[in-house]
Structure 1
């Protein structure tokens, strides 16, 4: 029940601060962009846009929301309630994953129609969004200014764009199999061609493992750099 309350609080907070309105404009811009792409390239463009969308949404918005909440003094009173840190983090990840999923379908349907494997496609979007959201929270917790957060979040995310080099046929390496975004591309491309079961299993496994790892890191970062500072401020 606490987790659901935290989720609805996050959705209302994001709506009140105009995140949904901005994202509607972004989706409309993506939709217009797709209309000008030649038909033979639309599938590849749809995968690329769908890949970048949950990544950018989670990476930029989650840390930005955390900084905004910190400026508004929300974190101290929030954890005076029975809400737990895990519930707070999962509510953030879930609220942005829902927004990412809606945006991904809004981009994909006009470009390429109904995916052949809608469940794999949707799970790819959700797991990528949650990974990037938790990564963003971990980075945002460690920095006090928007400029520092924006710079460091890009540096943290840089290794995870490497699978795009394989996607464009520029460079391939077995090391990409260890990256969560390789799993993302596999699941998004399953919208057109369902991969072999072993490759599909690998995509889910690598995304789930990275989500678990980044959750632990984001939780530690939040406890150390946000909650401990809030407690120190209250003691002064």
Structure 2
């Protein structure tokens, strides 16, 4: 069965997965067994969905209905196919502009970033299927509806997205305090994709190695870092400034 943001019941969750519904996360009852339950686990793994095994009390809090040990949280926003989206943008835009998010975990940060990205003319946002905040009602609300206006794609691995974009002539700019160059000195008046890292650890080292440019913001106070949504706004508007200048 389905309510506003949930699908519950083993059969219903399985059918939703098979239909490629935009599922943020699947909660399964810890210790539950049975052939149908195993089939659901196998299907979720095959689709690379984020799965959490939780006590039945957690599921009871998620829904008061007969969940049968399975609850899926669905996204109010449909995710787009990565390659199809990129190809459409490359054909349409002279200077395509992408945003990659590596491990953003707070839904309100995610929503604020989506809002700023839409305002800055970002053509598409790319996030990993795992290790990313869900697009739920809070994220949509914080985005002020921008989540419905900008294509958002999910990929198995951001590395593959970076390789694909680079092979298409898109330069990758990683935002990191470890950079030697300020963002104002990086050429952004070209096809580019900005990568922003997680709230705690930033961009993963393996992705940093793939970037064409790394850039940082000047920090003049005693606090060593900005909130990721604020930092993202500065980076994105620097792209806008250079292209409008």
Does the TM-score normalized on the shorter chain lie above 0.5?
Answer: no
- Structure possessing the higher radius of gyration over alpha carbons: 2
The structure that is helix-richer by fraction is 1
Task: State the TM-score, normalizing by the size of structure 2.
Answer: 0.25
Whose strand proportion is higher, 1 or 2? 2
